[in-house]
Amino acid sequence: MKQRPYNFSAGPAALPAEVLEQAAAEMLDWHGSGMGVMEMSHRGKEFIAIAHQAEADLRRLLAVPPNFHILFMQGGGLAENAIVPLNLSGGAAADFVVTGSWSQKSFKEAKKYCDAQLAAANTAADGSHTTLPDPATWRLRREARYLHLCSNETIHGIEFHELPDLKSLGSDAPLVVDCSSHILSRAIDWSRVGLAFAGAQKNIGPAGLTIVMVREDLVGHALPVCPSAFDYKTVAEHGSMFNTPPTYAIYIAGLVFQWLLRQGGVAEMERRAVQKAELLYGAIDASGFYSNKVERSCRSRMNVPFFMPDERLYAPFLEGAVARGLLQLKGHKSVGGLRASIYNAMPLEGVQALVSYMTEFQARHG
């Protein structure tokens, strides 16, 4: 197959070509079953095998401990903003660390269901988010049922390179982590986490699948108003098949998990992510033309927002990028500028092509 353009979308995002080719080859007839995956009953032996394999592969990739459920749900990250407090808060206290738009949304939504309070924020006077608040300064309430944070803020490009150890801060609250935009790009320290959730459409597969990994003891405490299809206990008891799961999305996610295992797993993804991010941030910092305002210690390895000195340059930059096969580089509408999302499926060559285009553009317009 000829080289496809490099797609820098923040999500839904690029998938490995190998995965798309395999899906295409199996579209009409999965493994001689005479059915495409979209046409199978979710309760048939074929799809049950697909779902079990996907779950086992994800457990292996992220070393998810046996006392954690892996749930395949729907509704995306934003639905989890309600589903988590419905399940974990008991209508009582929950603390939030706000470091960008996504954790801000989580905090706001949770207020509908519980006593949500801000433990820390990184919002500057001008509304920007460019640092991470030091965990030692967080206001952790003893009675909080959990503490929520977003470990990679997709819009602002801020990443917790290490999750806080709440126990060392004197808190027994489980950590709830929205890892939607960097799941599977590095290991998760499960000793620090009670629940991690992620929409699949960035680093895993198609939109429509939401992955929830939750410690067993946190399940079974949902508020009575919690919809049954969103009660983690019900979902877990039915092996994520209480209602019809997003079957095709689970299948594609499973193919991505197998691709990741063939590549060398999460450790290899992290090595590549570091390499790609260093290349891109290095080029931005050295240019004297492009800029990224996030403090170096918390720059995202997945989402790199960057800016130019003159607003009028964005349209020609984006036009020239498309002409060179560099797609979807427009920044999020709330912050403007440019953004390159360089998830697992983005090869190093894609980042190299972007950097050489940036150099060429600067030579003409800088």
Residues that bind ligand PMP (CB under 6 A): 11, 76-78, 102, 150, 154, 178, 180-181, 199
Nearer to ligand PMP, 173 or 302 (CB): 302
95 catalytic? Reply is no
User: Positive or negative, the Cα torsion across 171, 301, 285, 314?
Assistant: negative
Nearer to ligand PMP, 11 or 85 (CB): 11
| Min dist. Cβ of residue 202 to ligand PMP (A) | 6
| Min dist. Cβ of residue 204 to ligand PMP (A) | 11
Residues 204 and 58 sit within 8 Å (Cβ to Cβ): no
- To the question of whether residue 30 is assigned a binding role by annotation, the answer is no
Residue appearing with tokens 């999020």: 332
| Min dist. Cβ of residue 249 to ligand PMP (A) | 12
| Min dist. Cβ of residue 13 to ligand PMP (A) | 10
Nearer to ligand PMP, 228 or 334 (CB): 334
Residue appearing with tokens 């003409």: 364
Phi-psi region of 280 (alpha: psi -120 to 50; beta: other; left: phi over 0): alpha
- To the question of whether residue 234 is assigned a binding role by annotation, the answer is no
Could you say which of 30, 57, 95, 202 is catalytic? 202
Per-residue burial over 96-126, b = 16 or more CB atoms within 10 Å of its CB, e = otherwise: bbbbbbbbbbbbebbeebbbbbebbbbbeee
Nearer to ligand PMP, 105 or 365 (CB): 105
202 catalytic? Reply is yes
- To the question of whether residue 102 is assigned a binding role by annotation, the answer is yes
Residues 190 and 163 sit within 8 Å (Cβ to Cβ): no
3-state secondary structure of 24: helix
Residues 133 and 122 sit within 8 Å (Cβ to Cβ): yes
Could you say which of 178, 231, 233, 330 is catalytic? 178
Could you say which of 30, 57, 102, 259 is catalytic? 102
**Angle at which helices 314-323 and 348-365 pack, to 10 degrees?**
130
178 catalytic? Reply is yes
Q: Which residues are annotated as a binding site?
A: 43, 102, 154, 178, 201, 243-244
Q: Which residues are annotated as a binding site for L-glutamate?
A: 43
Q: Which residues are annotated as a binding site for pyridoxal 5'-phosphate?
A: 102, 154, 178, 201, 243-244
Q: Which residues are catalytic?
A: 102, 178, 202
